[in-house]
Structure 1
């Protein structure tokens, strides 16, 4: 990544004729490029891993654990999951990985998330790469043109993310069974799925759209005490939205990896009882 000492081409962006003639691209002396570089590396690593697992179409069920990438399973070619969310609504015509039918919803929710917009705008598009560092683009159009105008669908993806979180919670409840589907089991996989479900809920409910839905456009909080209390709770979570975004991204990848390793026989699931 460039250090920022070289000026952008004259006549573009901040080098336009109507802007102040400052030769330096910025006056920062710290390693401002480190944060966007790490962000880009982290997001790129997850994209590569999740793409591999989404198209793998294997290793996503190890009774009683199911990968969050494949739940609910909506195609007929799904591995049978006894008692699990295996809904064959797409029939036999769908021949690709069933993960591709469900990942579009949590992926759309994260891609349009306000924090993730900031993360990949800076990490990949350099718009801008950091505070007080000018972006290299000729002009700024915001989210008024395709494809970025699709970011306005974030609220609708939030509605879709709620049932996904509920299904992952259901999967966690089913994880308290053993491989013979008898209740009373708890293994390391149960803990992994439980932590993931909690983080997914925390990230989803910390969303800016959630905060607006429960308490937005109210003129008098005193007349709506329940909504005010929900708005306050969502606000506390929203203050940790960035941390929850990364924690839930890591946990969902870890949960999928754990199920994959158990399903492919790399190791057996440790039992607590």
Structure 2
């Protein structure tokens, strides 16, 4: 508390507040929803990754993004667009080359940091609410020091988005020739959202125009920077939307592959 000697003349002493926060709204609701949402998604994704089945629809060449690229010798031959390089051990996912980098890209994402810092670590859980930890060192120590590698994981995310785009294109060419169905729409929508999330990344925005001193001398890069800046404002929404589209796409491919219901076809 400020003493009388150091307090400016006429200023009042600070009130001694015992409560941890004076907020009376449901400030805990957003962290709770984040915990439920992320836990549910991670649980579903983990189960699906280690099911090792129902990831490929041979009739329409649908490949779920959870198994792309399929690189173990356990993969179906037609689903392995880039070869089979890893042994088919149960603990090795079919998409073992892609999944670690996608996980690291999302874990180090600026929005996801905020999300799980506030929800899982309570650091802090909300504005004007005290931190759940006595000490705070920021991102200056291991393992949080690795958050600075986000800019490099971005390049891997771009490559994986290209692979997912190639999968969506191949899905138009089934054994019967050109085909178009509901699965194609879902795959395309998922890829579009993935690109939106990837290029709305802060690292992408910095790569495009972060070091430019004169936008007038680089009109093309300036337009690209403006577009990524527009997307960047929506980065949080795209982060959640892509979790939804990934799960929806995987579930649809799984359901068709397991013959729970047929694909709705418009052409062939």
Q: TM-score, normalised by structure 1?
A: 0.88
1: CA distance, partners of 2:36 / 2:166: 32
In the alignment, what sits opposite 1:73? 70
SS at match of 1:56: coil
Which of 243, 259, 262 does residue 249 from structure 1 map onto? 243
C-alpha contact 1:80 1:86 (8 A) present in aligned 2: no
1:228 aligns with 2:233: no
1:165 aligns with 2:161: yes
In the alignment, what sits opposite 1:270? 264
Equivalence map 1:43-62=2 (5 Å)? 43-62=38-57
Cα gap change, 1:93/1:170 in structure 2, threshold over 3 Å: closer, same or farther?
closer
In the alignment, what sits opposite 2:96? 100
Equivalence map 1:209-228=2 (5 Å)? 209-228=203-222
2: CA distance, partners of 1:227 / 1:146: 36
Equivalence map 1:136-147=2 (5 Å)? 136-147=132-143
How far off its partner does 1:150 sit?
1.0
Q: Gaps (5+ residues) in structure 2?
A: 1-13
Give 1 or 2 for the bigger CA radius of gyration.
2
1:27 aligns with 2:22: yes
1: CA distance, partners of 2:122 / 2:78: 44
SS at match of 2:20: coil
How far off its partner does 1:21 sit?
5.0
1: CA distance, partners of 2:190 / 2:157: 14
